[in-house]
Amino acid sequence: GAVVSQHPSWVICKSGTSVKIECRSLDFQATTMFWYRQFPKQSLMLMATSNEGSKATYEQGVEKDKFLINHASLTLSTLTVTSAHPEDSSFYICSARDRRISYEQYFGPGTRLTVT
Amino acid sequence: QKEVEQDPGPLSVPEGAIVSLNCTYSNSAFQYFMWYRQYSRKGPELLMYTYSSGNKEDGRFTAQVDKSSKYISLFIRDSQPSDSATYLCAMSTSLSGGYNKLIFGAGTRLAVHP
């Protein structure tokens, strides 16, 4: 089956620093990748939609200058949290859409970010 | 009002019970309905996918969509301890092009005890 990986699986950083999270589709090409954040016991909230080779589309209320998304290839998208603050601590999950199966999004295992 | 409402539970049932999980929604434009299962500290995995109204069965799982009532359900028969997870419903108005945006419910935590 389709596999999406994320790296790192967890990260602790100091306030004010930047953190990069990678999302890779391992055995399929993903024209579209999605980035979500999930707070404890809450649902997934879409942050942005990333299409290969073009700028990401951010959801209302998500600061694009703070959450930088790059989708440079059909198998890799990155999310960089710039100038991280404790309130950015969350579970970040990416998903990738297989270009052959339009409805299915395959989710990565998530990255837990803790900002101290 | 949220677009998708889902009771967060927790729901605790004995092994072998039939589990009923539900979501209601307000956007009549939703046409695609999914159920995801998420284990603790893991990403969601797709369980069931349904287009428009009707029922769909896959093994011990049955998904139902009632668009007239804006209500969807997931039934789990002969529940097992391994079914213990959070179940998220998700919906979309369109799945083509760049509009594959899923709106998730809050998720229902299910615990199946032996």
Cis peptide before B44 (omega within 30 of 0): no
| A31 vs B54: CA distance, rounded Å | 30
Count the alpha carbons within 13 Å of B14 in the hemisphere toward its beta carbon: 0
| Lowest pLDDT segment from A91-100, B34-43, B44-53, B91-100 | B91-100
| Lowest pLDDT segment from A81-95, B46-60, B83-97 | B83-97
Nearest chain A residue (CA) to B95:
A103
pLDDT tens readout for residues A27-76:
888 888 999 999 887 888 999 998 887 889 999 999 999 999 998 888 99
Q: Rounded mean pLDDT of chain A?
A: 91
Q: Rounded mean pLDDT of chain B?
A: 91
Choose from A11, A33, A44, A92 for mutation: most chain B CBs within 10 A.
Answer: A44
Q: What is the pLDDT of residue A51?
A: 84
Cβ B46–A104 below 8 Å, yes or no?
yes
Q: Which two tokens stand for residue B39?
A: 């284990």
Q: What is the pLDDT of residue B96?
A: 61
Residues 25-64, chain B, touching A (beta carbon < 8 A): 32, 34, 36, 41-46, 49
Cβ B42–A109 below 8 Å, yes or no?
yes
Do the Cβ atoms of A71 and A56 come closer than 8 Å?
yes
